[in-house]
Structure 1
Amino acid sequence: MQIKYLLISLIGLMMASCQSGPSTEDQLETLRNQITAHLSEVQGDFAVAFRSLGSDTLSLMINEKESFHAASTMKTPVMIELYKQVALGNISLDDSITVVNEFKSIVDGSPFSMDLSVDSQEGLYGKIGQKSTYKALNFQMITMSSNLATNILIDKLDAKKVTQTMRDLGAKDIEVLRGVEDLKAYEQGLSNTTTAYDLMVIMEAIAAGKAVSKEASAAMFEVLKAQHFNEIIPGLLPENVTVAHKTGSITGVRHDSGIVELPSGERYVLVLLSKNLKAPEKGIQVMAQISKLIYKFVENKEG
C-alpha cells in the first residue's frame, strides 16, 4: 500500500514538473538565441544589457562591457550631474544662464562653435545672447538632444565632475571627456565613450531613486519620459507602456537606453548599443524588434 502511494506521489511530482514548463534559465537562453538571430541580420556591432528591476536573475547581457562611442547617451550623465550640483546648493534649476555658442576645445582651449545644420534643436540658436534656465536647457538636452544646450551645461558643470559622479554610482567605464563637436579632440581620439553595462547601472540608479536623491531621480524620470526620438526601445511597444529613455546617434551608431514600465508597474532597464552600422535604418528596426522580444518575455514572466 505504501509503495502504491509512493508511486502516485512520484507520478504527481513528475506531472507537476512537466506542467511547470521550461525554467527561467531556459527561457532566457531562448531569448538570447532569438536576439542573436536578429542581430545577425544586420552588418554592425551590438551590445545589449537587460535587467528586471528587483530581480537580478532576470537579466541578459551581450557584449555589455564593450566600449562604444557614447553619442548623445552621455547627456544622461550630464543631467545627473546637474541635479547633483543642485542638491549641493551650487546652482538652482531656475537660475538664469546665457545662451552662448562659443566653447573651448579640451585639446588647447581654442574656441569653436556649434553647427546649426547638425543639431536637433534649432530653436535654441535663435536665443543666443538671451537668457534661459538650467531646467529649460536640461529639458532640451534630453528630450530634443540639443547639442548646444549640452555644451552650455557641460561648460558650467565640468565634464570631469560628470565622470566622477558616474564612478560614484558604480559605472566604472563610462567616460565623459567633453561636449559635442570639439573637432580637435575628436581628431585626437578624445571622445565620450560608454558600455551598455554602465548605461544600465545609471538608469537603474534613476529607477531606484538613488541617482542624487529620490526626488531628483523622479524628476529625471519625468524628463526622460518626454523623449522626442522613439524609434528604438518604444518603437514597437504598446502605447500603454511607459519608456523613460535617452537615445544617441552619429555616423554608423544608433543607441537607446532607458527604463521600461508596464501598466502593472513591473519595470526593467534596457540598453541597446550599435556601431559600424552599414544600414542604420535596418539597425534601428532590428533593435526595435529586440526591445519587443524583451517586453514580451517580461510580460509573459509577469503573467
Structure 2
Amino acid sequence: MSATAAALAALRLETEPPASVSVWCGRPGRPSAFRFRADVPHYAASLIKLAALRAAARTLDPATEVPVHDEFRSAHSGTYRTDRAYDNDEEPWRRLGGTAPLGWLCERMVCSSSNLATDLVLERVGVAAAAAEAPAGMTLTRPIGDHAAREAGLTNTVTAEAAAALVSALATEQEGRLLEPLRRQLYRAEIPAALPPGTRVANKNGWVDGVLHDAALVEPDDAPAYVLAVCTSGMAEEAARAVIHRVARASWDDRTRPGTGPETEESDARR
C-alpha cells in the first residue's frame, strides 16, 4: 500500500459522518496514481476561479481596462452586490468606481482569491464560457455571492478529479504560463504548508463554512511534478486542514512512484 493510501486508511473517515474527503493524486495528464472517492461532488467554493482563469485566457485581452463596480446581474433574476465584508482581498475594492486591467483582476482572482475580481472577470467572459472550460466533475452555474441564484438551487460543485484536471490543464496550456498566479498564491496553509520548506508549489484553495479544498502542482527537486487535489466537506476547518496536511505529507513520500496507470489504487479506507 502506498503512503497516501495508508494515510487515508488510518483516518477511518468512513466511520465519521458527515465528514467527506476526496483525493486525486498523479502526474499531470496521466491517470491517477492514487484516488479516494475522487468522483464525489463537493461545493466548489473558490475552485471555480480556475475555470474562469482558463476562459479569460482564451477570450480576453489582459490589457483591457474595465470599470470596477460591485453590482452584477444575477444568473437567476435581478441583480446582486458582491459582499465586501466576505471578500479576501481589499485591493480590487480600492479601485471601486475606477478601472482595472483584466490581467490584474485575473491575478487577484487567483493569488488572493478576490471575489470582486472574480465577478468582474465572469461578467466579461460569461458564466457559460467559464463553465465550458470546467472539466467533467465540475458544475459552474453562478458567480460568487449570487444569493438569488443560490436560493433558486443554482450551485457550483467540484470533484477532486475535476480539481486535479484543472491544475493539470493549467500546467500544460500556454506553456504553463497560466500557473503563474497559482505560484504566487498568498494562501498556503493547506497543501504547501505540509511539504518541506522551499518546495515549489502552485496551488489554489477554496473555503466556506464546512468546506475546505486545495489543488496543487507540486514540483519536487528529486522527482517529476505531480498533481494533488484534496476536497473536504462537513468538517471543522482545523480538522479538515489536518486531513489535507496528512494526505499532502503522504503524497510527498510517494513522489517517486511512476503513476502511469497500472499502479492506480483505491484506498483501503474505502472498504
TM over 0.5: yes
Aligned to 1:92, what secondary structure does the other structure show?
A: coil
Instruction: Report the count of equivalent residues.
Output: 257
The equivalences for 1:93-112 within 5 A come to 93-108=62-77, 110-112=78-80
Which whole-Å deviations, capped at 9, do the CAs of 1:60-93 have from their partners, x for residues lacking one? 11111111110001100100111111xxxxx311
Shift of 1:52: 2.4
Contact 1:260 1:267 in 2 (8 A): yes
Q: Matched residues in 2 for 1:156 and 1:228: separation?
A: 25
Query: Runs of 5+ in structure 2 lacking a partner?
Result: 260-271
Q: 1:180 to 1:53 in 2, by over 3 A?
A: closer
Aligned to 1:138, the other structure's residue is in SS state helix
CA distance in 1, matches of 2:29, 2:138: 24
CA distance in 2, matches of 1:245, 1:98: 28
2: CA distance, partners of 1:180 / 1:100:
14
Cα distance per residue 1:178-222 (max 9 Å; x no partner):
111111111122111111111111211222x2x3x32xxx22111
Structure-2-length-normalised TM-score: 0.89
Query: Which of 9, 17, 26 is the aligned partner of 1:51?
Result: 26
- Please tell me whether residue 127 in structure 1 is matched to residue 95 in structure 2: yes
What is the percent sequence identity of the aligned residues? 23
Whole-Å separation in 1 of the counterparts to 2:248 and 2:11: 11
Equivalence for 1:205: 169
Alpha carbons of 1:189 and 1:39: their partners in 2 closer, same or farther (altered >3 Å)? farther
Query: What runs of 5+ residues in structure 1 fail to find an aligned partner?
Result: 1-26, 86-90
Root mean square deviation, CA, Å: 2.0
Q: What is the identity, as a one-letter code, of the residue corresponding to 1:51?
A: G
| Contact 2:27-2:225 at 8 Å conserved across structures | yes
Distance in structure 2 (CA, Å) of the matches to 1:184 and 1:34: 41
SS in 2 for 1:64: coil
> Is the contact made by 1:243 and 1:258 (CA closer than 8 Å) also made in structure 2?
yes
1:109-163 C-alpha deviation (Å, 9 max, x unpaired)? x121111111001222121111110111011100110000000000110111111
Measure the CA separation in 1 of the matches of 2:98 and 2:160: 37
| Cα distance, 1:55 vs structure 2 | 5.7
Bigger mean CA offset, 291-300 vs 227-236: 291-300
> TM-score by structure 1 length?
0.80
Q: 1:165 aligns with which of 120, 133, 146?
A: 133
Equivalent residues in 2 for 1:22-61, closer than 5 Å:
27-28=1-2, 31-38=4-11, 40=13, 44-53=19-28, 56=31, 59-61=33-35
Does residue 142 of structure 1 match 2:98? Answer: no
1:21 maps to none
Quick check: 2:63–2:102 contact (8 Å CA) kept in 1? Answer: yes
